[in-house]
Homo-oligomer: A and B are copies of this chain.
């Protein structure tokens, strides 16, 4: 893929509000978009997240009621809820275990990693600051899913405008130490007035500075 192709895809994409209710994203494209999220990097590799594909129509109706009645929540081909982990204390052990497994070693061989990561997490005071650190990580796979979708010609509607407490409850995420952070509707743009509007972005020099 050339530089021009990548930029054309990112210029083509926008946050779709009204989706075509008939067109479905293929299983192959959905799998590639989800795999982009799974492969996303995170601080120390802790991957403090989960991606929930909500196909159940009743659940989507309930989420829509908790999401300012946005039609894309029920009408898009797919809805992915991006959740972060609320059990920070479990993340380090999990990281050590899977790193050891991937390298065919014993978890005990990763004492330095264990100390570094648990120390880094503990250095962020419990509560708001630690939560924010974990929450922010989930925007990396969100960005990557949006880009992958665009590259595949799949439309996406990212959402923060919903009640995360309600959506967490609707999906029964609390018991799994998860909390809904953002949502991503996937599908194909329908008769959407926003499609015709010019892209609004800050000018290059407003957001990019070079210090030589």
Contact = CB atoms under 8 A, between A and B. Distances in A.
Interface of A: 1, 3, 5-7, 10-11, 14-15, 28-29, 31-32, 34-41, 43, 45, 47, 49-56, 59, 94-95, 98-99, 102-103, 120, 128-129, 131-132, 135-144, 146-148, 151-152, 158, 160-161, 171, 197-202, 204, 207-212
30 contacts: A3-B152, A6-B152, A7-B39, A14-B41, A36-B147, A38-B208, A40-B143, A47-B201, A50-B208, A52-B208, A52-B211, A53-B208, A53-B210, A53-B211, A55-B212, A94-B202, A98-B201, A98-B202, A102-B197, A102-B198, A102-B199, A128-B128, A128-B129, A131-B132, A136-B136, A138-B139, A139-B140, A139-B142, A140-B140, A143-B143
A132 B139 contact: no
Given A3-B152, A129-B128, A151-B1, A211 B158 contact: no
The complex is assembled from copies of this chain, and their number is: 2
Contacts of A128: 128-129, 132
Nearest to A39: B10
B141 A132 contact: no
